[in-house]
Amino acid sequence: MPTVSATKSGPPPGFRHLPGHLERTAQEALVEEIRAVVRAAPLFQPMMPRTGKPFSVRMSNCGPLGWVADRTGYRYQPTHPVTGAPWPAMPPVLLDLWTELSGYPAEPEACLINFYGETARMGLHRDEDEEDFSAPVFSISLGDTCRFRIGGPSRKDPTSSFKLASGDIVLLAGEARTAYHGVDRIYPATSTLLKDGGRINLTMRRVTKV
């Protein structure tokens, strides 16, 4: 699918949605890879820096760097905030997808693993803790469908929303790279991929400049 152009009711330039890019067998294999990662780097509960309020998602990371959020702020670091161990390596299938679709000459350095239960959501935010905004934010949906919302570079900009299903891929590049976006809700029991339901979102990012 080509990059989507901005309209009053549509996402900003540089936004790409690839529905069903991963077929079911590929999704199942990727879930097994992520389960192995989470066994080595267990899910933890990030917190809002100023208030200490926990996110409604649980998360982990893989790759050389991982994104964490706690009372001291948002940051990337090479170790798990609870175990102190280095993050597990990024599964090769993720690196292959990045090479295939990102259009960026260097590998991603972090893959955030966010697990959404039935009531979890993610408020509108911008991904801006990276040094290099020329690399896209690359997102893979696994499990239950969600309602994804995206706006513009200001929190007050109009937004549009649509559903992301299991196997969908989204890339935020160009103007969309710094657009506000979030997850409004999860639609329970819309996928049988995960035994106990819920949604896994994998987000690959390049952190440092090449």
| pLDDT tens digits in sequence order for the chain, 210 residues long | 343 433 446 899 999 999 999 999 999 999 999 999 999 999 999 999 989 999 999 999 999 999 999 999 999 999 999 999 999 999 999 999 999 999 999 999 999 999 999 999 999 999 999 998 999 999 999 999 999 999 999 999 999 999 999 999 999 999 999 999 999 999 999 999 999 999 999 999 999 998
pLDDT at 9: 62
pLDDT at 50: 86
Judge contact between 146 and 199, C-beta under 8 A: yes
pLDDT at 1: 38
In degrees, rounded to 5, the angle at the alpha carbon of residue 111 between the alpha carbons of residues 108 and 114 is 160
CA neighbor of 137 nearest in space, from 17, 5, 32: 17
CB atoms within 10 A of CB 178: 17
HSE of 55 in the Cβ direction (CA atoms, 13 Å)?
Answer: 27
Q: What is the pTM for the complete model shown?
A: 0.94
Q: Is 209 exposed, middle or buried (0-12, 13-18, 19+ CB in 10 A)?
A: exposed
pLDDT at 128: 95
Q: Is 121 exposed, middle or buried (0-12, 13-18, 19+ CB in 10 A)?
A: middle
Distances (CA, A) of 60 to 66, 109, 128, 142, 150: 8, 14, 19, 15, 24
Judge contact between 193 and 27, C-beta under 8 A: yes
Alpha-carbon distance of 23 to 148, in angstroms, equals 21
pLDDT at 2: 40
Q: Which CATH number does 15-205 carry?
A: 2.60.120.590
Task: Please name the residue ranges forming H helices in the chain.
Answer: 24-40, 92-101
Helix axes 92-101, 24-40, angle to 10 degrees: 130
Handedness of CA 18, 105, 41, 43 (dihedral sign): negative
CA neighbor of 46 nearest in space, from 123, 135, 108: 123
